[in-house]
Structure 1
Amino acid sequence: MSDAEELFQFPPHDHVFLGKDHDKAERRTWAVIVLCTIMMIAEIIGGALFGSLALIADGLHMSTHAGALLLAALAYTYARKYANDRSFSFGTGKFGDLAGYSSAIVLAMIALLIGYEAVSRLLNPVSISFNEAIPIAVLGLAVNVASAWLLSGGHHHDRGHGHSHGHSHGHEDEARRIALGSSILDIKVFEDGVPPRFRVRAEGGELPAADLTIETTRPNGSRQLFVFEDRGDYLESRDEIPEPHAFLASIRLMQAGRPHERELEFEEHDHDDAHGHGGAHHRDNNMRAAIVHVMADAAVSVLVIAGLLLARAFGWLWMDPLAGFIGALVIANWSVGLLRDTGGILLDRTPDPRMAEKVRGLIEADGDRVTDLHLWRLGPGHLGAIVCVATTGERKAADYRQRLARFADLSHVTVEVQHSQSFKG
């Protein structure tokens, strides 16, 4: 009969599992709400002054748009305000997913309403005021583009570091070839069935291990220096590389008494499973839902503009409702994807099967056995895990806790160790 050992959790122990850009995302969402509110008021007042029913209708539509974004903003604010409230057993990181799920339901209802109206107009065409409808659709598109730009942070993905270095963004398991000094080096993060380490091969000659170092700098500013050991055909870092594998690597090589330096950027890539769910635990579904709202509106605006232009040019009145129906299908598709992903998180579905395999493989590498493993998402970039281990050795929970510390995404871990004389299949 095996004995249950003590339970351990990572110190220091808190329950703040918010995304790293939570505050910025909150501010951006409120900024878009202000923009939509200003446009809503301007359209309603303008419609009343100039007698334009279409302008008033678009202003009212903008109010529903602002309302959906308000849900996202309140979720950010509430999650931040109660992040340290101990009555939430696993923090408030899931408020964004709850808001995203609610937004997905709203999107589904909008898709149904647009689809119903499109079918009604196909069966019973109505006259269209092209001179009013087209400018309003263009204005709506401009507001949605501006909203999407604000929500995404108003920047692109190019990064400047103030000096010249190589920018490669390959898969973490692919070799990265660089010229350094008089050598050509192949550098990779190797983790094929073993804990991840740097492996370096030199083309056309031997490379003394003492001459090479790699220092990693992560987005949070933390640094780690790696020294190397000679493995015959290659050099391998003495220390393992903590997860995630997203960092700037400074490679330094000494040759003939002179240092040669080069930098490479490594990025963690999603590793989707067959259903496309794996590796998505860093995603902010609250921001995703807000962006989907504005993108859905923008997509409908583009389709409406195209339909109106064709209807005015060729008299094809059926193009307007057809464009609306296509827009409804697009929105419905986005809604289903958002419902599936956020619903899985709310039901504690395993968010990253690859991470679960890594945890299991790491524990069982020395002959122990994982008898129970639960992995779930606590918030963007934060995973919780409960691991039950059966062992014939004398290892304690702290030993396994120390092993699992290399996975930076595991923010709340509980380990139970069961000692037994032998395993039964």
Structure 2
Amino acid sequence: MSELIAEHPRPGHHHNFLSAVHEASERRTWAVIWLCGAMMVGEIVGGLLFGSIALVADGLHMSTHAGALVLAALAYTYARRHAADPRFSFGTGKLGDLAGYTSAIILAMISLLIGYEAVKRLLHPVAIHFREAIPLAALGLAVNVASAWLLSAGGHHHHGHGHEHDEHDTDAEVRELATSLGLLRVEVFEDDVPPCFRVAVQDGRLDAGAVTIETVRADGVRQTFEFEDHGEFLQSSDIIPEPHEFTATVQVGEETHVLAFAEHDHHHHRDNNLRAAVVHVLADAAVSVLVIAGLVLARFFGWTWMDPLAGIVGAFVIASWSYGLIRDTGSILLDMNPDKKLTRQVQALVRASGDEVTDLHVWRLGPGHLGAILSVLTRSDRREDFYRAKLKAFPALSHITVEIVRR
């Protein structure tokens, strides 16, 4: 027998899955649009007047990220205005990912156009007015740097080339203490188990009552952890709620040690709408550097082929960034599992209660918000509220549906 216990509207329940800094990002995006639009016109006109295809390419690419910024700004505005619209079953949090995906497609098409024009200019060179072109390219670089700074102000954004890490950097959640008992290793452990503390002493064993840990979070919430003996290590009997950012007071006998733990940024917290805009700006900055290098070498060494070559290299740079955006935003739009480690932790948490997860789906609803549907096989008379309370250990799970199957 099974019963489906889903999320029902209740006081405080909502489907607003937007980023906490959504409105601030929206304002910064509109500000950068005006800056980039003015520079875009200057570079394209200047490149045509002074005969630099690389400068025209830089201006064309700036036009793409100006267009991408408009897409991003409109997506922010629409998502904010319709966050409570009941027509959107799971809110408007993924609208930014849709805008980012669209932006990435446009970026890929423009990279092909720039590459084509650069190859054509390489085969049929034209005269370049270096005196005017070089300062204009330098100004374009300055605008790109300013745009990136404006977009990134007030937040931490990852702009890597698409290399994501699904796991935490576990070494960053391990601390070592010199104590009278020896070198003590304190670890936030979460490999296939709910997050917990593990404590071990080098070349020795600890009694379960020898260590206690009290955590204090930024909001003043305190939690005390006691330990169970697991042979080579002690493990806390309670799980550690996320985020793992707190000060931990470790009591070892009469000794007191204080440790600081900082939360790692999960990729499902990323605002891909803002990321797409920043990628456009940073890719354009990279092309600006290539433009300047190509113009300088062409002027002082007579290597006129360097200018179109810079355009070709720039096209490849843009295509690379575009690919990363398409892959990451596409996976979200297709509801791929955004955090396999969290999935394993949810399964481990339910198993620790003596039950079994027979089906589990996790997907992203918006920046920092995940949805989950799980089917739990149990012999007990537990209801949905029991599992919901357990899953509060994972704040990123913003919308949960539980199906309970009785044995």
| 1:211 positional shift | 7.0
| Equivalences for residues 69-80 of structure 1 within 5 A | 69-80=69-80
| Equivalences for residues 206-285 of structure 1 within 5 A | 209=209, 212-217=212-217, 221=219, 223-229=221-227, 231=229, 235-244=234-243, 246-251=244-249, 253=251, 260=256, 262-268=258-264, 270=266, 280-285=267-272
CA distance in 2, matches of 1:360, 1:223: 26
CA distance in 2, matches of 1:207, 1:392: 34
CA contact (8 A) 2:211 2:227 kept: no
CA contact (8 A) 1:173 1:191 kept: no
Which residue number in structure 2 is paired with residue 383 of structure 1? 370
Alpha carbons of 1:8 and 1:27: their partners in 2 closer, same or farther (altered >3 Å)? closer
| 1:388 positional shift | 1.8
Q: Aligned residues: percent identity?
A: 56
CA distance in 1, matches of 2:198, 2:77: 44
Which residue number in structure 2 is paired with residue 34 of structure 1? 34
1:119 lines up with 2:119 in the alignment: yes
Number of matched residues? 390
CA contact (8 A) 1:172 1:267 kept: no
CA contact (8 A) 1:10 1:412 kept: no
Alpha carbons of 1:40 and 1:175: their partners in 2 closer, same or farther (altered >3 Å)? closer
Letter in 1 for 2:326: L
CA contact (8 A) 2:72 2:274 kept: yes
Unaligned runs of 5+ in 2: 158-167
Which residue number in structure 2 is paired with residue 82 of structure 1? 82
Residue-by-residue CA offset, 1:357-407 (whole Å, 9 max, x unaligned): 222333344564433322111001111111122334433233322222211
Instruction: Compare 408-417 and 232-241 and name the one that shifted more.
Output: 232-241
Instruction: Compare 207-216 and 104-113 and name the one that shifted more.
Output: 207-216
CA distance in 1, matches of 2:141, 2:13: 47
1:136 lines up with 2:136 in the alignment: yes
Instruction: Compare 179-188 and 137-146 and name the one that shifted more.
Output: 179-188
Alpha carbons of 1:414 and 1:368: their partners in 2 closer, same or farther (altered >3 Å)? same
CA distance in 1, matches of 2:347, 2:367: 22
Which residue number in structure 1 is paired with residue 160 of structure 2? none
| 1:143 positional shift | 0.6
1:194 lines up with 2:193 in the alignment: yes
Residue-by-residue CA offset, 1:142-195 (whole Å, 9 max, x unaligned): 1101111111116889xxxxxxxxxxx962685311357997542111234432
CA contact (8 A) 2:196 2:236 kept: yes
Which residue number in structure 1 is paired with residue 93 of structure 2? 93
> What SS does structure 2 have at the residue aligned with 1:281?
helix
Alpha carbons of 1:289 and 1:247: their partners in 2 closer, same or farther (altered >3 Å)? same
> How high is the TM-score relative to the length of structure 2?
0.83
Letter in 1 for 2:296: L
CA distance in 2, matches of 1:5, 1:154: 42
CA contact (8 A) 2:19 2:271 kept: yes
